[in-house]
Structures are given as C-alpha cells and as structure tokens.
Amino acid sequence: MQVGYLSEAFVSFQGEGLHVGRRQLFLRFCGCPLRCLYCDTPASLVRTEGFVAHGLPNGTYTNPMSLDDISVVVSMLIEQHGPVEGTSLTGGEPLAQADFIAQLLEAGGLPRPVILETAGMMPKALEKVVEAVDVVSMDLKLPSNTGETAFWDLHREFLAASRGKVYVKVLVDASSSRNDLIGAADLVRDVAPETPVFIQPITAESSTILVGEGDLSNVYKIFRNRVEDVRVVPQTHKMLGVA
C-alpha cells in the first residue's frame, strides 16, 4: 500500500482555468522537480514532515498519510466546509506521487469531477492516473519565464496522452518570449487543436498582474491565430483573497 505526502488540504474556490469559481476540495501534494521563477507555492516544493488541513480544529497531520488517513481528512473538510463541486489534486507536482494518487482514486470517495493540476511534463506518470481523473489541467511551461529548460517534447507527449479531458494553461508575464509563445501555440495546434487554452497572466500576491494589456493582446493573437478556444483569465483566487 502506497503512502502520500501532502502540503495542505482545504476547501476553497477554484481560481484558475476551466472550472474557475467552483467550490472545490483541494489536496496539495508536496514535492516538485521544477523551480519556476514565478512559483507561488514554495512550501510545496519539497516533502515536509507534516501538513495542515485548513479550517479543521487540530488540523495538523504528520506525513506520510495512508489512504484511510486522507479519507478521514476529506470527510471532515467536506462536512465542515462543503458542499463542494469537485476535487483538485494540485501541488507541487502531484504526478511525482502518481502511484499513490492512482490508489487514492481507485479507493473512491473524492468529490467528482477530479481535476489533476500538473506541469504537464511527466507523461509516463500520467499513464497511471489518466483514466481515473476527469479533467487534466496542464501547464505549458515557457522557459523564458520559468527559468527552467524547455519541455516541448514531454509537453507534446503529455498533451497527446490527455487529449479529450485536458485544458492548457500558459502562464505569461513581461519576460515571456515571442518564440516561446509561438512554440507553445504551434504545439497545441499540431497535437490537439480543440484544446481550450487559458492564457493566465501571472498575478502577484498583491493582485497586481505582471503583464501589460498590449502584451496580453499580442499573446492572445499568437494563440488565436492557431487554435480556436482561447481565453485570458487571471489568478482570481488572489483577487478574492482566498487560498
């Protein structure tokens, strides 16, 4: 039996992507192989000794967690803060714990739909869970603003494997290069052009959006010239002041 490492658990409003505004249960897994310059969840980058289930009395728990442990936390969170319309498996990079997540999904009990929020560069790990999740929220990482290497080939394989249940997020700020944006738009057009694309201006904790309107319009045109379903949506949870 696998065990899992969580960073936090809570009920809140989905702030990004296709299900924005929905009340959801969030399970944030800790551990991530990347170090994006704009990362807004630094506490989830490495495995921790414990985690907090926000809004529960005595809501501090010790990692690793068993399936039964998580089931108890989920039930208490929903009882106290529900109803919810789905579950977000987020991180960190949840696919770094794909074996555990596969068992968690098989056990049942998570509110549906289950959305997997991922950096979209672990296609082999995705194979273990893609049938069991309802929606894949996949980032397309631009090396010009992540500070990381490019993952185009892995992104291509990942998008193909999640086709039919995936939407794509492209996080942009003033440092996003035109070459990267064109590369990302070409990739979606070539692999799965029906995929909804969310251009997501990176948003500071102060709710300041880190890209100008002119740049955003240019980014929109780059994608809209290649794929049909393109939307610009900021990180709304930061504007609401929620987790």
Q: Is 36 among the residues that bind ligand SF4 (CB under 6 A)?
A: yes
Closest approach of Cβ 229 to ligand SF4, in Å?
Answer: 23
Determine, following the binding rule CB under 6 A, whether residue 136 of this chain makes contact with ligand SF4. Answer: no
Measured from the CB atom, the residue of 141 and 226 that comes closer to ligand SF4 is 141
| Total of chain residues touching ligand SF4, rule CB under 6 A | 11
Q: Residue 145 corresponds to which tokens in the numbers above?
A: 């603003």
Q: Phi, psi at residue 199, to the nearest 5°?
A: -85, 120
- Please tell me the distance from the alpha carbon of residue 28 to that of residue 10, in angstroms, as a whole number: 9
Residue 91 interacts with ligand SF4 (CB under 6 A): yes or no: yes
Give the x/- contact pattern for ligand SF4 in 96-125, rule: CB under 6 A.
Answer: -----------------------x------
Shortest Å, Cβ 171 to ligand SF4: 8
Quick check: 93 binds ligand SF4 (CB under 6 A)?
Answer: yes
Which of the ranges 11-19, 35-43, 77-85, 185-193 carries the binding residues for ligand SF4, by CB under 6 A?
35-43
Pick the closer one to ligand SF4 by CB: 87 or 90: 90
Task: Name the site residues for ligand SF4 (rule: CB under 6 A).
Answer: 32, 34-36, 39, 41, 44, 91-93, 119
